[in-house]
Amino acid sequence: MEKTLLLSIFVFHWHFINALFTVDVPHPQYTVDYGSNVTMECRFQVNGQLKLQDLSVIWEKKEEEAKEIYKLHKGKENFTTQHSDFRERVQLLKEKLQLGQSMLQITSIKLTDAGTYRCLIGYEGADYKTITLQVRAPYRNITKRIVTAEHNKWELMCQSEGYPKAEVIWQNVEHQDLSDKANTISETGTDQLYSVTSTLKINTSINATFQCIFWNKELKENTSAILIIPDYTVDSQRTNSRRYIGTALGVFAVFGSLLLCVLWIKKARKDEESETWTNNATMKVSCGKLSTDEEEGNCRETLLENEKLKNVRIVET
């Protein structure tokens, strides 16, 4: 109620009180990335020292029903009628008012912030201008994964979030288009962004290089990631006996864990004489677990060896 009243006062004053008082926008349009900050600016004339008690500033977003973002009424800030979309995300740079600059900062820009904004200023007259804000969400962080199912059969995956929906193009090192072998799905991800996942299944060999390109047609922007088929199998190929290496690693893992356990028990015994007995209790418990699980080599400390083992198994299957 009060808001519309104030707006009508502004519009009224704008025509009749002082036609010489004008608000200007140095940049009628801003384009910012999702998640970043923006500072939009309107200018007005201050002749001499600013009389803050005479100044009113309103920033609002034009929608079916305007959303109030910021209000300074006769020199006093008022957040009671601020729209919840902008709560804790806006700030007027008050030190700039003296220079005739009404600068509104909005942080953590969302896709829904895109649109038209209006800045109204009442001082020695009243006027307003509009500013458009565009929000881009490039597919910047690409997550990639390479999995092998069978010998020389690989599954390459690229995933990223952005807006609007991107097409994913796959190329090999000769820039041949492999996209028809890929499967791309897009889902609605966080905060209205699209989560686009593309999977390419391909027969290829070690060290082959591929590229997934997220083509955001509307933004005329491409982001890409490079995937190189890894050489997990180099050892086993050399000896031509992967099973043997697998077993050897397994045995090594079991003995490694046994050895660690013995060392731990020794250390625990030693520490028992000292004062931190609670720590020792935990240590012994984990050692107990280790000795029952040792057949499987199921010890945390042998994670590294097990990791190697997994790789070998992947190639085997």
Ligand X SMILES: *[C@@H]1O[C@H](CO)[C@@H](O)[C@H](O)[C@H]1NC(C)=O
Among 4, 8, 37, 286, binds ligand X (CB under 6 A): 37
Task: Please list every residue from 155 through 184 that binds ligand X, using CB under 6 A.
Answer: 169
* AA identity, residue 290: L
Does 225 sit near ligand X (CB under 6 A)?
no
Does 31 sit near ligand X (CB under 6 A)?
no
Given the structure tokens 């929906």, which residue do they identify?
Answer: 165
Does 220 sit near ligand X (CB under 6 A)?
yes
d(C-alpha 72, C-alpha 103), whole Å: 12
CB-nearer residue toward ligand X: 159 or 216: 216
Does 36 sit near ligand X (CB under 6 A)?
yes
Q: Could you tell me the smallest distance in angstroms from the CB atom of residue 98 to ligand X?
A: 21
Does 209 sit near ligand X (CB under 6 A)?
no
Among 18, 222, 233, 298, binds ligand X (CB under 6 A): 222
Q: Could you tell me the smallest distance in angstroms from the CB atom of residue 211 to ligand X?
A: 9
Task: Please list every residue from 283 through 312 that binds ligand X, using CB under 6 A.
Answer: none
Does 213 sit near ligand X (CB under 6 A)?
yes
Integer angstrom CA distances of residue 98 from 20, 38, 53, 94, 126: 19, 21, 12, 8, 17
Tokens of 47: 């002749």
Given the structure tokens 């600013």, which residue do they identify?
Answer: 50
Instruction: Provide CB contacts within 8 A for 253, sequence distance 6+.
Output: 297, 299, 302, 305, 306, 309
Does 4 sit near ligand X (CB under 6 A)?
no
Among 21, 215, 232, 252, binds ligand X (CB under 6 A): 215
Q: Residue 213 carries which DSSP code?
A: E
- Name the nearest CA neighbour of 102 among 79, 144, 131, 81: 131
Instruction: Provide CB contacts within 8 A for 45, sequence distance 6+.
Output: 21, 22, 100, 123, 124
What mask, x for binding ligand X by CB under 6 A, covers residues 107 to 136? x-----------------------------
Residues in contact with ligand X by the rule CB under 6 A: 36-37, 107, 169, 213, 215, 220, 222
